[in-house]
Amino acid sequence: MPLNLYFSPTLIRRLKLALYEDIQSGDITTNLIVPRNFDITAKLITRESCVISGLILIPIIFRFLSAKVKVTLIAKEGSQVKAGQTIATISGPARAILTGERVAINFAAKLSGIATATHEFVKRIEPYHTELLATRKTAPLLRDVEKYAVQCGGGHTHRQGLFDQYMVKDNHKEVLKAMGARLASKAIERLRRSRKKGVLLTVEVDSVREIPWAMSFRPEIILLDNFSISDLRKAVRFVRELSKDEGVAKPLLEASGGIALDKVRAIAKTGVERISVGSITHSVRSMNFSLEVTSPEALSSRA
């Protein structure tokens, strides 16, 4: 799967704001201790084995501080590295490197944590060719980079937001009930007829008995929320039989809802095609990265 992160103007602004949050009026310690004419070389080291993601942000972050900072990325995005491995080297003005260090590490460490957690889930379900997907449970304003990290770990990104896929969730269902049968029927028909071509539709259900209702939408995906293993098996059989009997395209089945690492293999084994997991973005810990200065050098030729 190609790893693509679109460096939109919005993303660039967010990276700048992350620096501003940390620096604001200036790095008062570094600016007093470190002279302007001092360059260093440093290496970024991982203290634990992990899957790499987010290193590609580091050159951009340092470029905001000084065009003279040179970043060499040693580890590739999506690659597995071992504890103690140098994953990047950074050289240039000491002030810029020390000032941007924490923001650069925070991004790379957090995204590598997401990639690593995703990889652990993907390994468990690989024999079943089941897709692992991230949800919208991401940190505000960081969804694009966090979902990119999921890709680095071998996962998929689900919908990016409310704008790129139709999804009838449990609260939509409650509103439809409140509308009454006649208005609800018209709403379902309107969604069926007015959908944009090529845009996927997912309908969420809480039990096997709701599947025929979900099928009335003609969805591409049915989301099975908080189903037990036995009910997932029943749902897989039921949808296969219902699609055959009614002569409609069989929707993909997606398991979701508090899915833990130790249960994901059994879930994939039921025959569902997709599994969505919120914890790979909202509950991961950052990897332990550190920046070590290796060769300071005073350059008297610089002002």
- Whole-number Cα distances in Å, 146 to 142, 156, 274: 6, 11, 19
Helices 94-125 and 58-65 pack at an angle, to 10 degrees, of 160
Instruction: Identify whether 182 is a catalytic site residue.
Output: no
C-alpha 22/C-alpha 146 separation (Å) is 21
Q: Which helix (H) or strand (E) holds 93?
A: strand 86-93
- Strand, helix or coil at 271? coil
Which segments of 159-301 are extended strands (E)? 166-168, 201-205, 221-225, 252-256, 274-276, 289-293, 297-298
Instruction: Identify whether 225 is a catalytic site residue.
Output: yes
**Closest alpha carbon to 112 in 62, 63, 52:** 52
Question: CB 288: neighbour CB atoms within 10 A?
Answer: 15
Is beta strand 131-133 parallel, antiparallel or unpaired with respect to 274-276? Answer: parallel
Q: Which of 144, 225, 254, 274 is catalytic?
A: 225
Q: Which of 68, 169, 190, 237 is catalytic?
A: 169
Q: Which of 76, 102, 233, 269 is catalytic?
A: 102
**Closest alpha carbon to 254 in 240, 235, 234, 282:** 235
Q: Which of 123, 137, 195, 269 is catalytic?
A: 137
Instruction: Identify whether 209 is a catalytic site residue.
Output: no
Radius of gyration in angstroms for the set of CA atoms belonging to the chain, rounded to a whole number? 24
DSSP string, 128-162: GTPEEE--S---TT-HHHHHHHHHHTT-B---SST
Q: Which of 147, 204, 254, 274 is catalytic?
A: 204
Instruction: Identify whether 16 is a catalytic site residue.
Output: no
Instruction: Identify whether 302 is a catalytic site residue.
Output: no
- Strand, helix or coil at 283? coil
Q: Which residues are catalytic?
A: 102, 137, 169, 204, 225
